[in-house]
Amino acid sequence: MNKGGKFLFQEADFYGASKLIFLDKALPICYKATWMHGLGHIFSNAVSPTVLIHSNERSLPLHLVNNSDTVKLLKNKNTIAVGMPYIYTKTYSENVKVRKIYKRMFMPGHSILGIDYSYQYEDWRVILKKYKCDSICLGGADYEAIKNNNIFLGDIAIVRGAHAGDADSLNNIALMFYQTSEIITNEIGSHIVYAAASGVTVRMIDETSFLTKNIEARNVATISTIVDSVRSEDQKSFENYFNGFDIDNIKSSVWFQGNQNEIKEYSDFVLGVEFKKSLGVMAGYLTPDNNFEKYSIFGSVLLNKIRNKF
């Protein structure tokens, strides 16, 4: 069981998304809708709908996505734009005024799917010193590696980022961004959208690992790891997705232009701020209509999880 006490882990649970909707109420044993939690597709020119909806949950009656562009992309699915889970966090929703703790935070790429980024630790030290950072936000694996191995990155605060199974992750991340004046990053990802929408100055730096050595290492490792765990009809979709990042297109994007007003405006659209629904409406989207639908969905998702392991 995960921290939230649910037996069947679904996309709607990632980073505590479901807790943002149901608050202290009991969670359904399963959800009738997926809820998009990743934004990698906005940086890619080769996207298949099979990448946006997990193979375990494509048969669900409803798919909740970020904005109208994704609704169009998933035109053959029953899809509704509701915004990303991040905009449902307490801090973001209430636009809480908090004291700025971090002046300049560095957010590097994080280890995923067993990929080791320890070769970048020395690069991180150089970046932290060069840009006079007072903090760094690390993914769970890197945070544990730094702490457990007593790796010194400088006289800075080390902040732990989101964890998929932590029901408090999104609320914690939202508060962190509201406590931060500026982030610098050498990685394209959802964090820059969250930060910009929260009023943080976002700065892409020249030492962009995504556009240099890291793109090859991550593509090879991630493709081989993911494809090993998905069914054969999905393999080409994942390969196209990870090979579809256009370096020149990314470097000419809004993130590298430095206009914070445009970055904020684009981030709001990507997150689907204008499509945000009430908690009652969201609970209705996520909750099965009756016992028959509930147990049918539960059985389908569980069967898919088992099947995809073999």
CA-to-CA distance for 188 and 204, rounded, in angstroms? 8
Total count of residues recorded for the chain: 310
CA-to-CA distance for 265 and 278, rounded, in angstroms? 22
| Residues whose CB is less than 8 angstroms from the CB of residue 31 and which lie 6 or more positions away in sequence, other chains included | 10, 12, 13, 18, 60, 286, 287, 288, 297
Q: What is the pLDDT of residues 150-170, one digit of tens each?
A: 888 889 999 998 877 788 889
Run of H or E including 64: strand 62-65
Run of H or E including 227: helix 213-227
Sequence letter at residue 127: I
Whether the Cβ atoms of residue 4 and residue 34 lie closer than 8 Å to each other: no
Sheet containing 102-107: order of strands:
157-160, 135-138, 102-107, 180-185, 201-204
The pLDDT, as a whole number, for residue 89 is 95
Q: Is 223 exposed, middle or buried (0-12, 13-18, 19+ CB in 10 A)?
A: middle
Query: Which segments of the chain belong to CATH 3.40.50?
Result: 96-216+244-271
Per-residue pLDDT of the chain (310 residues; tens, 9 = 90+): 334 456 678 989 888 999 999 998 999 999 999 998 877 666 665 566 666 788 888 889 999 999 998 898 888 779 999 999 999 999 999 887 888 999 999 998 776 655 566 677 888 899 999 999 999 999 888 888 888 888 888 899 999 988 777 888 899 999 999 999 999 998 878 899 999 999 999 998 877 655 555 545 444 444 444 444 445 555 555 455 445 555 555 666 777 777 899 999 999 999 999 999 999 999 999 999 999 999 999 999 988 888 777 6
CA-to-CA distance for 28 and 45, rounded, in angstroms? 36
Is the sign of the CA dihedral 203, 264, 140, 303 positive or negative? negative
**Bridge partner residues of 107 (DSSP):** 185
Contacts 24+ apart (CB under 8 A), 19-25: 19/167, 19/168, 20/85, 20/88, 20/89, 20/170, 20/171, 21/88, 21/279, 21/282, 21/283, 21/286, 22/283, 23/279
* Domain 96-216+244-271 classification at class level: alpha beta
Torsion of CA 147, 199, 274, 138, to 10 degrees: -10
| CA-based nearest residue to 60, from 109, 11, 120 | 11
DSSP of 114-163: T---GGGHHHHHHHHHHTT-SEEEE-HHHHHHHHHTT----SSEEEE---
- Maximum C-alpha span of the chain: 59
Sequence letter at residue 148: N
